[in-house]
Every structure is written in structure tokens, then in C-alpha cells.
Amino acid sequence: DVCSSDLLVMRSIILSLFLTIAGTLSSQIYVPNAFSPNGDGDNDVLIVSCNDTVIDYEFTIFTRQGEVIFHSTDPKQAWVGGYEYYAPCNVFNYMLVWRTDIFSDIQRLYGFVLVLR
């Protein structure tokens, strides 16, 4: 039987590992969690910030129903919250896939972004 102190140690190790991995990912890639495409000049576009050169980049934004409303393979391409799909004030899910070089593992990041109008 595993006693409760062993479970606490295991949870602590898992949490520590998760925070280390999340910290490593966040130092390479940053995706804002909100933006306001209202034309006022402040936070009008959503763009992924990359500290490193990235290859095999793919950024996809989905509606809650799973419909793809934005897809880019160019790290410099911003989402403006419009064009083919006008994004209302809502929360949208995203998936980001990238590598820093051909020898590195593929990284995946999932999250959400809030559109404020």
C-alpha cells in the first residue's frame, strides 16, 4: 500500500516537473490570452511571440464547436479577429505546434484566447 506521505511526494514531483516544462515552453513561446480587435491601436492583433527561431510552425484557432477560424504556418502572421470569420466577443481555443530546429522534438501548446470588442 502506498501511504499518504508517498502520494504527497509523488504529487509534489509531478507538479514540479509540470512547472519546469511549462516554464521552459513559456520562455520560448508566448501566446497572449486576450486581445481587442476594435481598431483603437492597442492590442488589435493576436501574434505569437517567439524567442527562438522556429520551424514546422502551425498556429490554429478554433470555435467552441471545433470549427477552424484561423490557421497559419508563418510565425509572423497575426490574427486580426476577422476577415473570413468575424470573431465576436468570446473565448476561442488554440493549438500551437512548433520545433526550434530539425533535431528538436515537436512542441505542442494548447490554450484559449479571449476576444474583447
Query: What's the pTM?
Result: 0.73
pLDDT digits (tens, 9 = 90+) for 68-89: 999 999 999 999 997 677 889 9
- The backbone torsions φ and ψ at residue 13, rounded to the nearest 5 degrees and listed phi first, read -65, -45
CB atoms within 10 A of CB 96: 20
pLDDT digits (tens, 9 = 90+) for 2-43: 454 444 444 444 444 444 444 444 457 899 999 999 888 888
